[in-house]
Amino acid sequence: MLNTNLQHIESVEQYEQLIASGAKVAVVCGRMGPMCVPVYSVMDALKSNYPDVNFYDMDFDTAVAMQTIRRLPETNGFMGLPFTVYYKDGGVVAATSSIQNKKQVKEILDGRLSP
């Protein structure tokens, strides 16, 4: 399990239920590495400003990651951790690869994830 302040996605069922609910979700799929830690930290800092968004992490080296985020067409070609995927209404609305700063994350939350 990743040592972050985010909620964790640990099974395919949990992932599928979450996405199927149509909720706004941001999932950071990575390891406890130098490019990933800052993205978990950005999400943690933004949590209170975006109460309508569910912020999760997912361990990149687990079966759930291999069967879900790592298989998405949107992450095909990604070559930098973490893979960060944003969902709304049951589908992917944005995906980024590698480190992202607060401004970049906010742009997606305010743009693609806004009502």
Partner 1 sequence: MTERYDLIVLGGGAAGLTAALYGARAHLKTLIIDTGTPGGQMNLTYKVANYPGVLEASGADIVMTMRRQAESFGARLLSHAEVAEVALTGAEKSVVVEDEGTFVAPAIILAPGAMPRTLGLGSEARFQGRGISYCATCDGDFFTDQDIAVIGGGNSALEEAVSLTKFASSVTIIHEFDHFQAQPWAVEQAKKNPKIRFLMEQTVKDFEGEESLTAVISEHKRTGEVTRTPVSGVFLFIGYVPNTGWLREKIDINERGEILTDESMKTSVAGVFAAGDARQKRYRQVTTAVSDGAIAAIAASEYVASLAA
Which spans of this chain sit near partner 1 (rule: CB under 8 A)? 3, 31-38, 41-42, 45-46, 49, 77-81, 96-99, 101-102
Contact 27, 58 (CB under 8 A): yes
Taking the complex as a whole, how short is the minimal distance between the CB of residue 74 and partner 1, in angstroms? 12
Nearer to partner 1, 11 or 98 (CB): 98
Taking the complex as a whole, how short is the minimal distance between the CB of residue 28 and partner 1, in angstroms? 13
CA 23 remoteness from chain centre: 13
Nearer to partner 1, 13 or 73 (CB): 73
Contact 12, 64 (CB under 8 A): yes
Nearer to partner 1, 18 or 100 (CB): 100
d(CA 43, CA 108) in angstroms, rounded, equals 12
Query: How many of the other CB atoms lie within 10 Å of CB of 11?
Result: 14
Taking the complex as a whole, how short is the minimal distance between the CB of residue 106 and partner 1, in angstroms? 10
Hey, which residues does 25 pair with through a beta bridge?
Answer: 54, 87
Nearer to partner 1, 1 or 79 (CB): 79
